[in-house]
Amino acid sequence: MRRPSLDVARLDALAPALRIEVLEEATSTNAVAAQRARDGAPEGLLVVAEHQTAGRGRLDRSWATPPRSALLFSLVLRPTVPAADWPWLPLLTGHTVAKTLRGAGYDAGVKWPNDVLLAGADGESKKIVGILVERVDTPTGPAAVIGIGLNVSLTPEELPVPTATSLAIAAGHDPDRTAVLIDLASALVEAYDAWQAGGEEARDRLASSYAAACVTVGREVRVELPAGDSLLGRATGVDRSGRLVVTGPTGQTAVGAGDVVHVRATDQ
């Protein structure tokens, strides 16, 4: 059965804060948004695709979902906060998406840096949202592309990995994708504007609110580092640069990039 398309007319609710471009198919909404930014698109362009043929994930992975089963979108931003605060954008995004899903009744949490997980009845959490934030150099200065992929109506058979889930699996029915997109995009705009306009105080607030909500903090973790080695220890906090602080046998290490696995003490 063909899944329903997004209701483009209802997306007008997001104007004038956002300008929406809905594509039936794109290679990757991040790639399209980055090109639009290089061509001069202002902050607030939201590129949405019903299907991606070359969706990109973090750490050079791919991201694939059946047509119209997910929300796949990328937002062009042109942040004016100091460059040192840019690493908070992925965390701000994950935190906001998790809060929005919690507001809609889902038991969502953010795993450092920005995977959004849903807690399952068996106590195991599964990934429902992937976020890829990319910096793009453009003729008018650097831009950020915030790419979000949310599994909406995927069935258990369609999940790319057994550690993933979808809103439909969690809720037992297919949610209205258009309504979820409007909620997520509005929440993102609101959180980003407050963070941008609120100065040092807003950035401090985000740091403490993120650290308090992040489901990784307090867990035993194994961090697979980009260089190929891994780090074992307890995640004890998130530093002022948004790095995960891991406390292990050799002391504290702040990790800026890597794949975090939540482990039970017995798995180590």
The footprint of ligand BTN (CB under 6 A) covers 28-30, 52, 55-58, 61, 63, 72, 74, 115, 130-132, 147-149
Q: Which is nearer to ligand BTN, 117 or 170 (CB)?
A: 117
Q: Which is nearer to ligand BTN, 88 or 203 (CB)?
A: 88
Beta carbon of residue 47, minimum distance to ligand BTN (angstroms, whole number): 9
Q: Which is nearer to ligand BTN, 65 or 206 (CB)?
A: 65
Q: Which is nearer to ligand BTN, 3 or 234 (CB)?
A: 3
Q: Which is nearer to ligand BTN, 63 or 210 (CB)?
A: 63
Beta carbon of residue 94, minimum distance to ligand BTN (angstroms, whole number): 10
Beta carbon of residue 20, minimum distance to ligand BTN (angstroms, whole number): 14
Q: Which is nearer to ligand BTN, 79 or 113 (CB)?
A: 113
Number of residue whose CB is nearest ligand BTN: 130
> At which residue do the structure tokens 């602080």 appear?
245
> At which residue do the structure tokens 């063909």 appear?
2
Residue closest to 31 by CA, chosen among 5, 60, 54: 54
Beta carbon of residue 144, minimum distance to ligand BTN (angstroms, whole number): 13
Beta carbon of residue 213, minimum distance to ligand BTN (angstroms, whole number): 18
Q: In what order do the strands lie in the sheet with 108-111?
A: 19-23, 45-49, 70-77, 141-151, 125-138, 115-119, 108-111
- d(C-alpha 216, C-alpha 228), whole Å: 21
213, 222 Cβ separation under 8 angstroms: no
- d(C-alpha 9, C-alpha 6), whole Å: 9
Contacts of 23 (CB under 8 A, 6+ apart): 29, 32, 47, 48, 49, 50
- d(C-alpha 56, C-alpha 31), whole Å: 9
23, 43 Cβ separation under 8 angstroms: no
- d(C-alpha 141, C-alpha 139), whole Å: 6
Contacts of 191 (CB under 8 A, 6+ apart): 92, 95, 96
Q: Which is nearer to ligand BTN, 152 or 203 (CB)?
A: 152
